[in-house]
């Protein structure tokens, strides 16, 4: 028997068969404020019933769909999903749609409260931080081609869900801009590999073509155009996942953090402040917001990294003309600590990048100023423009820069999908689908691929990761901007 104690208590036996009510919970306001200094490495937990971060997405998503309210008593569930972001909701959706399994989703705060409501909404045909040329170097060309087919399949899973949800989708591919002339050779090589090895219709754009057809980004020396990419309103998309999953019988319980977990006799007993849920299987989809001590299976397996984002007021006609915006295709640049940006449907500019090392330092003005200065550098006519929204959030980065969707211990009915490294907007949909397959026992040849056949790796320097991160950030800045 395995017992995990998160708050100093073990679990009592619970009475089975008492199922939760299906009546949607009435609309309610969160009971706890947003915590801007939350830090997954030092905070005791993710909290309970905290308000959303003050993102543009939260302000513009409209009213949240009905959910099933906080857990209020003990009950049984076939499968429990911990976390109600893209991955957790997609897992519940595909469990119901493709396997007839009605999962129960436990969320500590609000639906899609973590990574899902704080990202840039860039749905790329990618997952993890490695480029396709690096796949070849690491695993060889045959495995790289199989992995590409799986990631491409994942992008189609994402595109199919986007087509079912009103989420302000902008389907225009992805621009990868060279922020210095020496980066053009890197982009040319990646474009050639994608084109010649994997069959993508990539092409290089000169600086003049980029400015003529897309935008007058003064920081860009040219760009690689990748054909696949859909920008979305991430919270509207997550709300769509929530509606579809619940329509198929899944239950979603906000304000219900898992504060104790005991496993015995083939069942998992997940204790929340309102009651204990007994399940035969558990799927973890908590991203960088995984509570410390949730399970030994994840101890030290992910590296949480902060990313900041700001959104301007809507641009005027004159500002659109001055900045040359002729497209809403989303953009990232070639810095290691990259900037990601795009023109939103209501003509606001959104831009984000990596920022603080710790949660305590996250509100510091210098991280906000980094993004303000980036706007002025990339689009000088917008220097001094009013910023209407500013926020930050944690990204789950694996130690080998690739995600995992696995059952880490075959003797335990516990699964997780984590480690997207900031590239989870699109692939999280397919990760949820694949995690549902694994929970349901469906076999697939894809499960021999590296992202499915091993757990997230440990690293010997894990105890020193914050020190190492600070040193790396200084080196990355030197390499990106000076050398």
CA distance 335 to 167: 29
| Sequential DSSP letters for 251-266 | EEESS----EEEEETT
Q: For residue 127, which of 405, 438, 382, 443 has the smallest C-alpha distance? A: 405
Q: Work out the pLDDT band at 26, boundaries 50, 70, 90.
A: confident
Average pLDDT over residues 110-115: 98
Kindly tell me if the per-residue pLDDT of 129 is higher than 60: yes
Nearest to 327 by CA among 239, 215, 417: 215
**pLDDT at position 188, please?**
98
Mean of the per-residue pLDDT values for the chain? 94
Percentage of the chain beyond pLDDT 70 is 95
Could you report the per-residue pLDDT of 212-226, keeping only the tens digit for each?
999 999 999 999 999
Distance CA 154, CA 444 (A): 14
420: confidence class by pLDDT, cuts 50, 70, 90: very high
Q: For residue 452, what is the DSSP state?
A: T
Q: What is the reported pLDDT for 414?
A: 98
**Coil, helix or strand at residue 220:** coil
In degrees, to the nearest 5, what angle opens at C-alpha 323 toward C-alphas 320 and 328? 65
The model's pLDDT over 435-481, given as tens digits with 9 standing for 90+, comes to: 999 999 999 999 999 999 999 999 877 888 899 999 999 999 999 99
Cβ contact 108:257 at 8 Å? yes
Q: Do 143 and 449 meet the contact criterion of CB atoms below 8 Å apart? A: yes
Q: Which of 9-18, 228-237, 293-302 has the lowest mean pLDDT?
A: 9-18
CB atoms within 10 A of CB 316: 11
Whether the predicted pLDDT of 433 surpasses 90: yes
Banded pLDDT at 1 (limits 50, 70, 90):
very low
pLDDT per position as a tens digit, 285-335? 999 999 989 999 999 999 999 999 999 999 999 999 999 999 999 999 999
Using a cut of 0.85, tell me whether the model's pTM lies above it: yes
Beta bridge partners of 231: 122, 170
Low-confidence winner among 24-28, 46-50, 173-177, 266-270 (lowest mean pLDDT): 24-28
Residues 459 and 397: their CA atoms lie apart, in Å, by 12
- Nearest residue to 73 via CA among 239, 235, 216, 278: 278
Q: State residue 206 phi and psi, 5-degree precision.
A: -70, 170
Which pLDDT band, with edges at 50, 70 and 90, does 51 fall under? Answer: very high
Residue 25 has a pLDDT of 78
pLDDT of residue 355: 86
Query: Which is higher by pLDDT, 180 or 355?
Result: 180
For residue 364, give every residue at least 6 positions away whose Cβ sits within 8 Å of its Cβ, in sequence order, or none. 356
- Strand, helix or coil at 394? strand
Q: Average pLDDT for residues 367-375, to the nearest whole number?
A: 98
Question: Reduced to 3 DSSP states, what percent helix, strand and coil does the chain have, rounded to the nearest 5?
Answer: 35, 25, 45
pLDDT score recorded for residue 468: 92
DSSP string, 59-93: HHS-SPPP---S--S-EEEEEEEE--SHHHHHHHH
Distance CA(366)–CA(376), nearest Å, equals 15
Q: What is the pLDDT of residue 6?
A: 43
CA within 13 Å, CB half, 159: 16
**Other CB atoms within 10 Å distance of the CB of residue 438:** 20
22 pLDDT tier (thresholds 50, 70, 90): low
Residue 459: the pLDDT is: 82
pLDDT of residue 233: 98
The closest alpha carbon to 428, from 414, 437, 438, 418, belongs to 418
Tens digits of residue pLDDT in 60-111: 999 999 999 999 999 999 999 999 999 999 999 999 999 999 999 999 999 9
| Paired strand residues for 81 | 105, 283
């Amino acid at each position: 028997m395995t017992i995990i104690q998160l708050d100093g208590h073990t679990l009592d036996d619970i009475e089975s068969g008492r199922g939760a009510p299906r009546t949607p919970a009435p609309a309610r306001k969160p009971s706890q404020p947003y915590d801007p200094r939350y830090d997954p490495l030092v905070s005791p937990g993710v909290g309970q019933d905290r308000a959303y971060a003050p993102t543009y997405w939260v302000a513009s998503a409209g009213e949240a769909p009905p959910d099933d309210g906080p857990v209020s008593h003990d009950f049984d569930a076939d499968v429990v999903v911990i976390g109600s972001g893209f991955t957790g909701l997609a897992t519940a959706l595909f469990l119901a749609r493709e396997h007839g399994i009605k999962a129960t989703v436990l969320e500590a705060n609000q639906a899609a409260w973590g990574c899902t409501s704080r990202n840039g909404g860039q749905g790329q045909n990618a997952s993890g931080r490695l480029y396709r040329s690096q796949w070849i170097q690491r695993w060889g060309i045959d495995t790289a081609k199989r992995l590409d087919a799986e990631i491409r399949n994942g992008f189609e899973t994402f595109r199919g869900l986007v087509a079912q949800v009103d989420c302000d989708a902008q389907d225009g591919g992805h621009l990868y801009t060279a922020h210095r002339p020496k980066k053009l050779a890197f982009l040319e090589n990646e474009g050639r590999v994608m084109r010649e090895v994997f069959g993508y219709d990539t092409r290089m754009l000169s600086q003049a073509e980029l400015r003529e057809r897309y935008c007058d980004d003064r920081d860009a020396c040219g760009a690689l155009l990748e054909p696949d990419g859909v920008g979305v309103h991430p919270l509207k998309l997550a709300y769509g996942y929530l509606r579809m999953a619940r329509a198929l019988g899944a239950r979603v319980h906000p304000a219900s953090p898992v504060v104790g977990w005991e496993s015995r006799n083939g069942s998992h007993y997940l204790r929340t402040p309102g009651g204990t849920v007994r399940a035969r299987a558990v799927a973890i989809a908590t991203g960088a917001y995984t509570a410390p001590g949730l399970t030994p299976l994840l101890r030290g397996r992910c590296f949480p990294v902060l990313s900041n984002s700001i959104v301007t007021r809507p641009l005027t006609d004159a500002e659109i003309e001055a900045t040359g915006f002729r497209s809403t295709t989303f953009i990232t640049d070639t810095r290691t600590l990259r900037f990601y940006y795009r023109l939103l449907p209501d003509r606001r500019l959104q831009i984000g990048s990596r920022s603080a090392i710790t949660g305590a330092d996250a509100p510091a003005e210098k991280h906000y100023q980094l993004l303000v200065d980036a706007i002025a550098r990339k689009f000088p006519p917008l220097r001094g423009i009013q910023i209407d929204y500013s926020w930050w959030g944690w990204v789950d980065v694996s130690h080998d820069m690739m995600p995992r969707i696995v059952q880490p211990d075959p003797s335990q009915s516990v699964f997780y999908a984590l480690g997207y490294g900031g590239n989870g907007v699109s692939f999280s949909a397919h990760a949820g689908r694949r995690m549902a397959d694994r929970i349901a026992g469906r076999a697939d040849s894809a499960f021999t691929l590296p992202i499915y056949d091993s757990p997230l790796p440990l690293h010997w320097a894990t105890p020193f990761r914050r020190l190492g991160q600070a040193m790396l950030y200084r080196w990355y800045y030197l390499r990106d901007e000076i050398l």
